[in-house]
Amino acid sequence: MMSFVSYFLSGVSLGSVYAIIALGYTMVYGIAKMLNFAHGDILMVGAYVAFLGLNSLGLPIPLATLLAMVTCTLLGIIIERAAYKPLRQANSLSVLITAIGVSYLLQNLALLLFGANPKSFSSFVPVGAVRFADGALTISGETLVTIAACVIIVAGLIHFINHTKAGQAMLAVSEDKGAATLMGVDVNRTIALTFAIGSALASIGGILLCSAYPTLTPTTGAMPGIKAFVAAVLGGIGSIPGAFIGGILLGILENLSKAYISSKLSDAIVFSVLIIVLLVRPTGILGKKIMEKV
């Protein structure tokens, strides 16, 4: 029983990281209608900046976090302007391919700048582990903070979207770009803002990911990026609560299948469950049901 709780909690923790990354995916998708495959690599950049800020510049943890967020925000905006914006009118697959190009670019740039050797990331989480039942169950500080951060971010985002002008503009753009323009919404600015927020979230995701799993290499972002994409789709891409639920579910699923079925085949199991979920709910758990009007 204690093992189960422990599997479950570490699943929730892993899932929270997926969820934070998935939020960025889902927001960008909802508004720009593109899969930003470079999202995982922005996460990696964020983690490197935070690492350097803490260890090379000697910044305190909040400042290093802030530095990572600012860098990623700028990076997100620059990438959007330079590589995605010119393709906004083009076929959606073109943007996807460009995003892949950006992903390669960031990975190889990081390889040249930081080298291939892994860096051990010092935890950004100042909270110690909590022990229950004489140490039979240990919950690490990272787990607690990650889960808390995820919940706060989701709540904050929902509030932002529903109760601020910029958030409403985002909703409008995601519904109908043309109409939003007519209503006086600056579509370019809104999309840039979305990329900015998504990238800032990615940097937080990167810091939390590396705090919990402290190895940092140029390819650190690749797999979590894909998993987060899966999570976003599982939850219903474009939906913020969906990304949250999808991320948490994916994390739990991954851990429990490792624990109770096979650690060797856990990837296959997780992906099979994903396929089954999508067969039952073709637009994900919270995805909008698209009814084509005849």
**According to CB under 8 A, which residues from 234 to 293 bind other proteins?**
237, 254-255, 258-259, 262-268, 271-272, 274-275, 278-279, 282-284, 290, 292
Q: Which is nearer to other proteins, 29 or 244 (CB)?
A: 29
Q: Which residues contact 249 (CB under 8 A, 6 or more apart)?
A: 15, 231, 234, 235, 285
Among 59, 96, 158, 171, binds other proteins (CB under 8 A): 96
Number of residues in contact with other proteins under rule CB under 8 A: 84
According to DSSP, the residues that pair with 137 across neighbouring strands are 132
Q: Which of residues 105-124 bind other proteins (CB under 8 A)?
A: 105, 107-109, 111-112, 115-122
Q: Cα(81)–Cα(196) distance, rounded to whole angstroms?
A: 11
Q: Which is nearer to other proteins, 135 or 184 (CB)?
A: 135
Helix 187-212, helix 61-79: angle, nearest 10? 140
Among 40, 218, 242, 247, binds other proteins (CB under 8 A): 218
Q: Kindly state the greatest CA–CA separation across the chain.
A: 64
User: The tokens 């396929």 sit on which residue?
Assistant: 275
25 is an interface residue for other proteins by CB under 8 A: no
87 is an interface residue for other proteins by CB under 8 A: yes
Minimum CB separation of residue 152 from other proteins in Å reads 22
Of the candidates 30, 79, 21, the residue with the CA atom closest to the CA atom of residue 200: 21
Q: Cα(219)–Cα(125) distance, rounded to whole angstroms?
A: 23
Rounded to 5, what percent of the chain is helix, strand, coil? 75, 5, 25
Question: Within 10 A of 122 (CB to CB), how many other CB atoms are there?
Answer: 15
Among 22, 35, 193, 202, binds other proteins (CB under 8 A): 35
Choose the stretch contacting other proteins; rule: CB under 8 A; options: 5-13, 42-50, 67-75, 198-206.
5-13
Q: Which is nearer to other proteins, 104 or 156 (CB)?
A: 104
Among 65, 190, 203, 217, binds other proteins (CB under 8 A): 217
Q: Which of residues 133-162 bind other proteins (CB under 8 A)?
A: 135, 138, 140, 142
Minimum CB separation of residue 160 from other proteins in Å reads 24
Choose the stretch contacting other proteins; rule: CB under 8 A; options: 61-69, 83-91, 150-158, 192-200.
83-91
Minimum CB separation of residue 90 from other proteins in Å reads 4
Among 24, 28, 31, 37, binds other proteins (CB under 8 A): 37
Q: CA separation (Å) from 31 to 73, 163, 187?
A: 17, 17, 10
Q: Cα(61)–Cα(49) distance, rounded to whole angstroms?
A: 12
Q: Which residues contact 81 (CB under 8 A, 6 or more apart)?
A: 192
Q: Which is nearer to other proteins, 6 or 190 (CB)?
A: 6
Among 3, 132, 162, 183, binds other proteins (CB under 8 A): 3
Q: CA separation (Å) from 275 to 158, 248, 260, 282?
A: 28, 17, 20, 9
91 is an interface residue for other proteins by CB under 8 A: yes
Among 61, 158, 166, 226, binds other proteins (CB under 8 A): 226
